[in-house]
Amino acid sequence: MSNTNNNLNRNDLKIWQQNLRKSPNAWEHLLKNLNPDMYDLACIQEPFLNAVNLANASNLNRFWDVIYPTDHHSQLERSQTLLLVNK
């Protein structure tokens, strides 16, 4: 029995995963190397967040939707994860 029909029109999900250890240098490196033509999703551990607890960059929202944990804006502690979803 062949499963070739299951693979027709199949799109692979490409995921970038990285622990940034809260480093602004690692954040800049990620932004320069995270190619929206190659990746669908980026799973970021210990992201670098600015003084108002947000991930920001001039070109971030152009290619990526930033998804924070549900309680990100209601808790005092900084979030340990975030997702970048390719638009």
Contacts of 39 (CB under 8 A, 6+ apart): 14, 15, 16, 86
| pLDDT score of 81 | 94
pTM of the model: 0.81
| pLDDT score of 4 | 52
Domain parsing of the chain, residue ranges: 13-86
| pLDDT score of 1 | 44
Dist. CA 3–CA 38, nearest whole Å: 27
Q: Mean pLDDT of successive 10-residue segments in the chain (87 residues)?
A: 51 94 94 93 94 82 91 83 95
| pLDDT score of 57 | 74
Contacts of 59 (CB under 8 A, 6+ apart): 31
